[in-house]
Amino acid sequence: MIVMEELQSCIPNEKFVMNKIILLLLPFIFLLSCNDSEKKPSSIKVSGEGNIRVKPDLVILTIDVSFVQPRMADAVRLSQQTVDSVVEILSGFGNKQNDIKTSSIAANKEYNYNRDRPVFVGYKAEQGIDFVLNDITRFTDLTAKLLATRINSISQVQFGHSKADSLLREADLLAYDDALKSAHKLCDRANIKLGKLLNLTNTEVHFDPTTYSNMGSINTFNKSYGGDGFKVSPEVLVFRRKIVSEYEVSN
């Protein structure tokens, strides 16, 4: 009898155990009831687009210089002399030090192929120059001076705008206004009330390629171009942004 009493004393009371389980479950039951009572409000998603069209006011040029000579030293020397003369010309058209960027000279063996067999023709030294012309009205004068030098080509001509960041921000605002107008029209048609703004997203990438117009390349192998320059009519630039807005709606 003594042994049985000791065993019973070691077994937990059933009522005590049940009360403990109920206490543990109460917080979970409370959370579930809260989730059921707090339903997600109805919402509507709309998109808007903002476009700003402007004329470009700057030009970005990439100028290529290269020479092939029997001796590498001669190819490097001619390349460097030409780059120096080009930089001197560009200095008269640029107001900022960062407007002119030159790459390092690259020198390698040059081959021609005769019946699929490589034939060594000499050493090629080449160098590139990037330049930002902030006064687009001087573009024709600049190309005339560049074509009088021994450059190989102007491999890239891009038109841009000096206030691109500000124009993109303005396009963002226009896109937001456009989305808000769409939300009002949809709610009026559906006979529901438009509530507060829940979410706002700019879906465009940071750099919009439509803000630059690429004219292509200008080859200078035919020196009959020299001294005439190029007259261009750059396209209108379009700064485009898209906004997606989510609004709360109610009956």
Number of domains composing the chain = 2
Is 94 part of any domain? Answer: yes
* Strand, helix or coil for residue 194: strand
pLDDT at 41: 78
Residues 105 and 226 in one domain: yes
Residues 24 and 95 in one domain: no
Residues 68 and 25 in one domain: no
Bridge partners (DSSP) of residue 202 are 243
Contact by Cβ (8 Å): 47, 186: no
Whether the pLDDT of residue 87 is over 70: the answer is: yes
Residues 20 and 138 in one domain: no
Is 130 part of any domain? Answer: yes
Is 67 part of any domain? Answer: yes
Specify the CATH number for the domain of residue 128.
3.30.70.2970
Whether the pLDDT of residue 9 is over 70: the answer is: no
Residues 87 and 8 in one domain: no
Burial 199-218 (b: 16+ CB within 10 A, else e): eeeeebeeebeebebebeeb
| Phi/psi of residue 177, nearest 5 degrees | -60, -40
Is 19 part of any domain? Answer: yes
Is 178 part of any domain? Answer: no
Is 74 part of any domain? Answer: yes
Residues 226 and 110 in one domain: yes
Residues 110 and 224 in one domain: yes
Contact by Cβ (8 Å): 125, 105: yes
Is 172 part of any domain? Answer: no
Task: Provide CB contacts within 8 A for 36, sequence distance 6+.
Answer: none
Residues 93 and 124 in one domain: yes
d(CA 94, CA 132): 7
Contact by Cβ (8 Å): 235, 213: yes
Residues 15 and 112 in one domain: no
Mean of the per-residue pLDDT values of the chain? 81
Domain that holds residue 16: 2-37
Contact by Cβ (8 Å): 217, 153: yes
> What is the band of 18 on the pLDDT scale with cuts at 50, 70, 90?
low
Q: How far is CA 209 from CA 155, 164, 171, in A?
A: 18, 12, 15
Neighbours of 27 (CB within 10 A): 9
Each residue of 133-151: pLDDT tens digit? 999 999 999 999 999 999 9
Each residue of 104-121: pLDDT tens digit? 899 999 999 888 889 999
Is 91 part of any domain? Answer: yes
Residues 100 and 156 in one domain: yes
pLDDT at 138: 93
